[in-house]
Amino acid sequence: MPHLRPGRKATWFELFFDLAFVTAVAQLTAALSHHFDAVGLAQFVPGLLLLWWTWLGHTFHATRFDEDRWDQHLLGMLQIAAVIVIAYGAGAAFGTRGWAFAAGMAALKLLLMAAYLQERRRPGAESLARTYAGIYAVQALAWAASLALDGVSRWALWGVVLVLDVASPFVVARHTHAYPPHPEHLPERFGLFTIIVMGEGVASAVHALLHGEQLEPHSVALAVLGLGLAFLYWVGYFERVRGHDERHVGDAIAARRLRHWAYAHIPLLAGVCIGAAGLVAAAGPTQATDAAWLTGVGIALAMLGLTAIGAAQTHSTRSPTAQARHAAIALSPVLAALFVPTVWVLAAGAAAACVQLWLAASRGR
């Protein structure tokens, strides 16, 4: 197939497109760092999932159809404008700026529908394009309809849209291997988005140092440990589990592995952001001691995500026992969070991550 030409890389426009999501993810994470309770977490997780699926919508379209054409760039710029509106609403999506979040989502889904209809005449791609266009048309209508609702009714409709997002890969599964995503380009794009989210871990280290008029040992310790964890996540993703390796989809089994690999990113991305929010809360003016649980949950989710990504790799030889051992190690920061402050939870998380990497390296040898 022409779109599977070897050596394809992300375009400069795709990198420009990602900038809007940097802001949106930062808004969601900042909101959680100020409302680090069960309600804040319950709002953050679906918000991040909804945001990530909009990025996936653009990425899966681009990996199949992007040719750096001017008309594709025009649609892309309109999508960026929609993401900016989403980012504006993201910090209070379940509150005063929910209308902006919903309006941006409605516009973006409508633009994705148009992008797929634009490519429907490609040989072999008509069924895939029409199926995706139909999904995005339904979602655009649902997001627009939610503007007329308020409170629980609006959130319930958003939940329905999220369910459709999660189910969409299964709806189009029969077309995936007939017109597959690019085996090199798609993993690279996932790796780039993972880097964007890992940037929240780096940013949280800076936030820790910025609190207070002078540097304090507590803030410095949080910054050092937070930066160390971000580096360990990077090593885990790019060096150990090789999350960016090529993903060839030639049959239904490979398509199923692709979905497993893609969904495994969810706990990693959410965990990195949640852990970063917990660090910022712990470094704030009040040095919130009750944010330790958030940090522990975030670290555990991130490491569970890395374990799941490793298990989804085509070359993975991990036994169920080895996977269970990695999962048990990943949960240790949650246990630490029940008894010690955030700085020690970060230390426990860094130690657990090092053990995971050592086990993976030993198995690799």
pLDDT on residue 334: 65
> Does residue 252 share a domain with residue 157?
no
> Does residue 189 share a domain with residue 162?
no
Q: Decide if 2 is inside a domain.
A: no
pLDDT on residue 365: 41
pTM of the shown model: 0.88
Domain with 89 in it: 11-176
pLDDT on residue 284: 67
Q: Give per-residue pLDDT as tens, 219-235.
A: 888 889 999 989 999 99
Q: Give per-residue pLDDT as tens, 163-221.
A: 999 998 888 877 777 778 888 999 999 999 999 999 999 999 898 888 766 778 888 88
> Does residue 148 share a domain with residue 78?
yes
Q: Decide if 3 is inside a domain.
A: no
DSSP 8-state class, residue 317: -
> Does residue 196 share a domain with residue 110?
no
pLDDT on residue 327: 63
Identify the CA nearest to 76 among candidates 19, 158, 141, 147.
Answer: 19
Q: Decide if 171 is inside a domain.
A: yes
> Does residue 348 share a domain with residue 206?
yes
Sites in the chain below the pLDDT cut of 70: 1-5, 212-213, 284-290, 314-340, 362-365
pLDDT on residue 293: 83
pLDDT on residue 289: 59
